[in-house]
Structure 1
Amino acid sequence: MVQGTQMRRHLCGIQTAWTDAGRAEEAVEALAGTIEHDGLGHIIVFFSPAYDTEKLTAALAAHFPGVAVSGCTTSGGISPAGPIDRGLVAIAFPSRGFRIVADVLTQIARLDVEGAASTVRGLRRTLDQGRSDGGTNHRFAISLIDALANAEETVVSAVAWALDGIPLVGGSAGDDLAFSSTVLIHEGRVHRDAAVILLVETDFPIRIFKSDNFEPTSRRFVVTAAREEDRRVLELNAEPAAREYAMAVGLDPESLTAMSFAAYPLAVKIGGEYYCRSISRVEPDGSLTFFCAIGEGVVMTLAQPRDIVEATRAELAGLDEALGGLDLVIGFDCVFRRLDAESRQVRHRIADLYRRYGVVGFETYGEQYRSMHLNQTFTGIAIGRAQGP
């Protein structure tokens, strides 16, 4: 595990910094002492839910005056030196080579879809106005969403619609599997029931990606009773949900844990492709609460895992080849992938891959990719070494 405070400057000019400092003020002070302040354009931070968020935002504003800062709580950080179980990871974008505009969508549990789309269109117009003539520009969007608002599908649908082809990736804020308080920050303010949307234009070559390590089996479940507003499934195949699921995977319903859900994911088929729908917890009444929206009549398939190390290696190696060498990968990795890797005793091998390819990011309660909200997936933006004109 990472110890102390470190910083890395990447070829594109982005600085990544990370610390395992125990208090928010100490963490920001440590970062401020390692990050070069000249020419900073925007900083994204992923931080421990144990930090006092008000003190964190105040410290960031004090140490980085005039620099826009966005971020969220995590269930673990990913730094170029390895995983961070507590602390803070920062991605500091330079003004040169990167143009970033960002805003907050509020009250996302009751999202005004047209209002959200209008906000995103406004960001696009701002980015268009600042565009230099003759440049080779690549665009992408990042979403950071309060997972406990249970609104990712609505947010992603509205944002993707308004982006009009600009690819979106992102992650849902976590809180170390406590499911009690996930928090976002943006420009000195703390937000809940919200989403931060960032639009990025860069001169550097990029690829967005998604990777998973499961494949469907022949076992099917039909959701026969659900409370859709709570993402809670009461019955599968007309039987109590937890019991039916446990019987299918050969476990006692009383012994189901997050490790169980990570090892035996469920998936839905959309457009000929399977997407994971992870269970977050068993409720006292024997129902199952999910990380994704789920409704009555949905058919889910029990999935079985493939080699998570090989699947991840193949994805990163393919990106490395496509871009002529990876400079940096901003990644959003499901916390259940970590749990699965731990149960199979291969987390250190995943960490080695992330170090080799320069992955930085956080462990999420859900991942966004284009117009989809996903679970048990690794998504992100890969930035290549070659610079555009």
Structure 2
Amino acid sequence: MRRHLCGIRTAWTEAARPDEAADAVAQAVGDGALSQIVAFFSADYDPETLADALGARFPGVPVAGCSMSGGLAPTGGLDRGLVVIAFPAERFRIVSTVLDAIDHLDVERTASAVRALRRTLDPHGPEDTAAAGRFALSLIDGLTNAEETVVSAIAWALDGIPLVGGSAGDDLRFRDAVMLHGGRIHRKAAVLVLVETDYPVEIFKSDNFAPTATKFVVTASDGEARVVHELNAEPAAREYAMAIGLDPEGLSPMSFAAYPLAVKVGGEYFCRSIRRMNADGSLSFFCAVDEGVVLTLAEPRDIVAATRTELARLDAALGGVDLIIGFECVLRRLDAESRQVRHEVADLYRRYGVVGFETFGEQYRAMHLNQTFTGIAIGRGGAGTAAS
């Protein structure tokens, strides 16, 4: 467990059973008035049992969260288990909501729900919207293929409140991602948490790839299903495999992590990672990819150096980082493992108090991303550090 200077307590466990995990984090968090629990949990747990256990261990405290593909804790990555962020009642005002049926999203109704939630943090009217120390966390079912629509509607309604988040996963099974809110488990849903604090905060994103000269035009795709059938008028998997020097049969999550594809938006490149190769030679993606889009083959940069640079920038900007709530693509972990540098990344996360989960996609402002590390950094506010 770590007790941060801002009053937030973070706890994590690799207990095998959900009731044991809830006991462990409750004991670590201890007593004190809390405003919100945010929990990220293993797909190995029965989610209803975990929801009941957390409700019993933290009576009267709102709990929100989602299933994960691995946890992030100051001690390093967790392959399974439970990660909890306990926000104190003092100096944190937090409200949250769940958005159901996101696979058939009503954009206007969603925006209205977000505006209503936002107004609970705007007691003096719209002029409060841009107040410093506000941010939003989005947790979205990563198997509904709906993140682009959801995050666009949320960001529009937030009207300037910075948004970061992650897509819930289930390791790499691609079967069942679940959301937790209000003591209940939700599927095909998203959870939005709005936070207001007087501590300094800053959202960020970091990636470790650079564009190459190799381009692909998407000549046949199903945007809703996130399936690309053809690149450059050739079967997608074969064209991609040839570009990276592999046979299509040799494609794997490791190769997708090592050689991502990117799209250029507003002069900046954003990753569009491949989820899997299908039996018909098509490629399934973690993001929507429409026909006519030009994809650029990217090559990796030093993930340790890129991460260190961004965390050092945040540390300087905030006058010292107290903790970071982070959302990291599971493909970044696979890439770090394949390059045998995961322990070096974990050392950086330990130094800066990173806590969060490994995702099926990341959100940053109005964008849905892949193979990125996004999050919110909370500054020390003039205090020193504390841990236990």
TM-score normalised by the chain length of structure 1: 0.96
CA contact (8 A) 2:136 2:193 kept: yes
Write out aligned runs for 1:277-288 (5 A): 277-288=272-283
Q: Deviations over 1:213-238 (max 9, x none)?
A: 00100000001011122100000000
Aligned-partner Cα distance in 2 for 1:259–1:343: 7
TM-score normalised by the chain length of structure 2: 0.96
Q: Unpaired segments of 5 or more residues in structure 1?
A: 1-6
CA contact (8 A) 1:204 1:387 kept: no
Shift of 1:387: 5.6
1:72 corresponding residue in structure 2: 66
Q: Deviations over 1:344-381 (max 9, x none)?
A: 00000000000011100000000000000000000000
Matched, 1:177 2:144: no
1:88 corresponding residue in structure 2: 82
| Partner-residue secondary structure (3-state), 1:16 | strand
Write out aligned runs for 1:147-166 (5 A): 147-166=142-161
Q: Deviations over 1:212-268 (max 9, x none)?
A: 000100000001011122100000000000000000000110010000000000000
2:248 corresponding residue in structure 1: 253
Q: What amino acid maps onto 2:334 in structure 1?
A: L
Root mean square deviation of aligned Cα = 1.3
| Partner-residue secondary structure (3-state), 2:52 | helix
Shift of 1:127: 1.1
Percent identity between matched residues is: 70
Q: Deviations over 1:256-283 (max 9, x none)?
A: 0000000000000000000000000001
Which stretches of structure 1, 4 residues or longer, exceed 6 Å deviation after superposition?
A: none
Q: Unpaired segments of 5 or more residues in structure 2?
A: 384-388
Aligned-partner Cα distance in 2 for 1:74–1:10: 23
Aligned-partner Cα distance in 2 for 1:374–1:78: 19
Give the number of aligned pairs: 379
1:360 corresponding residue in structure 2: 355
CA contact (8 A) 2:329 2:361 kept: yes
1:121 corresponding residue in structure 2: 115
Q: Deviations over 1:118-171 (max 9, x none)?
A: 01101111111299x9xx841000000001110000001000000000000000
Shift of 1:36: 2.1
Aligned-partner Cα distance in 2 for 1:61–1:187: 9
1:4 corresponding residue in structure 2: none
Write out aligned runs for 1:147-226 (5 A): 147-226=142-221
Shift of 1:51: 0.2
Shift of 1:81: 1.3
Aligned-partner Cα distance in 1 for 2:30–2:19: 18
Q: Pick from 41, 48, 53: which aligns with 2:42?
A: 48
Shift of 1:37: 3.2
Aligned-partner Cα distance in 2 for 1:365–1:120: 23
| Partner-residue secondary structure (3-state), 1:149 | coil
CA contact (8 A) 1:205 1:387 kept: no
Q: Pick from 290, 296, 299: which aligns with 2:294?
A: 299
Q: Pick from 333, 347, 351: which aligns with 2:328?
A: 333
CA contact (8 A) 2:319 2:382 kept: no
Shift of 1:293: 0.7
| Partner-residue secondary structure (3-state), 1:235 | strand
1:290 corresponding residue in structure 2: 285
